[in-house]
């Protein structure tokens, strides 16, 4: 059993590759929920949805969000009615958000709601929200904190940011399922997800770092040199006071890490790191990286 820690792009690409080598039933994914928002009456959990749709075989792998071939009739109708739906939500994607919102409003935990949605979508992997408590990543621009989704989607990441924080500031408890998925795994893999907005929120959940210390943990860098493959990871690392690079990523994980993997083109060498082709630009390259990692993992994880 391998357990992954995931955001909504880099690690899902790696999961796409691993699915060729492992049965979905042998994979657990602990997913970041600090980008969740209630929007237009539904509950959006973008990273959970990407992972769930991947395992359901319906993910739009051009964008790494939403459902392949989805229509946007309701989104357009809402805009025509003058609403401020700043995220383009597909119709089938919205159905999932409404169903999740209903389950939460009935008093179900996010873990229970996710499990029901997964079952109804035929997902056989374990998709585990990092916590059942609401938590959000906020970024500060010109003195004001705004939700990460506002910064990234509404403002297209164009605002200068100088601080990042979680709300509430006291770390939420990881769920029991999350701790069991980590402590019961043969290996834990942190894919190349954004350290600040996807992986640190998981590591901050009470119990997670301690659970990782007892396990064989591999992490893949989302940077080549001091540039991320995509997205705002560089700006966010700088706003947190970390080096926006593979070295900076390694520093964040080194207290529990057994193996760091960086891209073979990366000129900033992290001592002891394995170098592989981490550019997952198509399905074959996703498989290639998964295969490379599996060759390095200790034998008992096979
Ligand atoms: P988000 O929730 O959509 O922000 O997604 P993640 O946090 O899971 O992933 C975003 C990170 O993935 C970015 O920092 C990218 O640099 C990284 N990333 C995306 N594609 C690749 C890739 O093919 N290889 C590597 N190494 N990193 C990638």
Residues 146-159 pLDDT 10s: 999 999 999 999 99
In the prediction, which pLDDT does 225 show? 85
CB neighbours of 192 closer than 8 A, spacing ≥ 6?
10, 11, 13, 14, 220, 221, 222, 229, 278
CA 144 / ligand 1 centre spacing (Å): 26
Q: Has this prediction a pTM greater than 0.85?
A: yes
Q: Is there an atom of ligand 1 within 6 Å of 192 CB?
A: yes
Q: Label each residue of 166-232 as H, E or C.
A: EECCCCCECCHHHHHHHHCCCEEEECCCCHHHHHHHHHHCECHHHHHHCCCEEEECCEECCEECCCC
Q: Is 219 exposed, middle or buried (0-12, 13-18, 19+ CB in 10 A)?
A: buried
User: What CA–CA distance (Å, rounded) separates 66 from 138?
Assistant: 23
Q: Is the CB of 231 under 6 A from ligand 1?
A: yes
CB-count exposure of residue 83 (10 Å: 0-12, 13-18, 19+) = exposed
Give the nearest ligand 1 atom to 198 CA.
7
Contacts by 109-115, CB closer than 8 A, 24 or more apart: 109/175, 110/33, 110/45, 111/175, 111/177, 114/45, 114/48, 114/52
Residue nearest to atom 12 of ligand 1 (CA): 10
Helix (H/G/I), strand (E/B), else coil: 127? strand
**Residue 7, ligand 1, Cβ within 6 A:** yes
Ligand 1: atom nearest CA of 232 is 14
Question: Would you give the distance in Å from CA 284 to the centre of its chain?
Answer: 21
User: What residue owns the CA closest to ligand 1's atom 25?
Assistant: 222
Q: For ligand 1, say whether the CB of 280 is within 6 Å of any of its atoms.
A: yes
* pLDDT profile of the chain (302 residues), mean per 10: 98 98 98 98 98 98 97 98 96 98 98 98 98 98 95 94 96 98 98 98 98 97 94 94 96 97 94 96 98 86 54
Contact between 233 and 249 under an 8 Å Cβ cutoff? The reply is: no
116 lines ligand 1 (CB under 6 A): no
Nearest CA to ligand 1 atom 26: 222
Quick one: which atom of ligand 1 is closest to the CA of 46? 2
| Cβ(218)–Cβ(189) below 8 Å | yes
Distance 290 CA to ligand 1 centre (A): 15
Count of helices and strands (H, E) across the chain: 12, 14
Q: Is 1 in the pocket of ligand 1 (CB under 6 A)?
A: no
Atom of ligand 1 nearest to the CA of 12: 8
């Amino acid at each position: 059993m391998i357990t992954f820690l995931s955001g909504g792009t880099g690690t899902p690409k790696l999961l796409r590759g691993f699915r060729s080598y492992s049965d979905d039933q042998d994979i657990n994914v602990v997913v970041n929920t600090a980008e969740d928002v209630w929007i237009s009456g539904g509950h959006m959990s973008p990273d959970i949805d990407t992972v769930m749709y991947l395992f359901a075989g319906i993910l739009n792998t051009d964008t790494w969000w939403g459902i392949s071939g989805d229509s946007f009739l309701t989104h357009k109708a809402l805009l025509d009615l003058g609403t401020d739906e700043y995220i383009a939500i597909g119709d089938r994607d919205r159905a999932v958000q409404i169903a999740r919102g209903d389950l939460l409003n009935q008093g179900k935990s996010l873990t229970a709601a996710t499990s029901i949605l997964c079952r109804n979508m035929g997902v056989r992997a374990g998709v585990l929200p990092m916590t059942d408590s609401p938590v959000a990543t906020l970024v500060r621009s010109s003195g004001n904190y705004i939700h990460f989704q506002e910064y990234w989607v509404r403002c297209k990441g164009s605002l200068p940011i100088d601080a990042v924080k979680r709300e509430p500031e006291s770390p939420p408890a990881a769920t029991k399922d999350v701790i069991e998925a980590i402590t019961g795994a043969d290996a834990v893999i942190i894919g190349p997800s954004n350290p600040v907005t996807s992986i640190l929120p998981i590591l901050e959940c009470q119990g997670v770092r301690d659970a990782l210390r007892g396990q064989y943990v591999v992490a893949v860098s989302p940077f080549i040199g001091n540039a991320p493959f995509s997205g705002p990871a560089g700006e966010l690392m700088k706003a947190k006071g970390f080096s926006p690079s593979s070295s900076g990523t390694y520093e964040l994980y080194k207290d529990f890490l057994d193996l760091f993997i960086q891209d073979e083109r990366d000129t900033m060498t992290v001592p002891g790191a394995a170098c592989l082709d981490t550019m997952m630009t198509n399905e074959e390259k996703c498989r290639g990286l998964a295969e490379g990692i599996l060759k390095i993992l200790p034998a008992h994880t096979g």
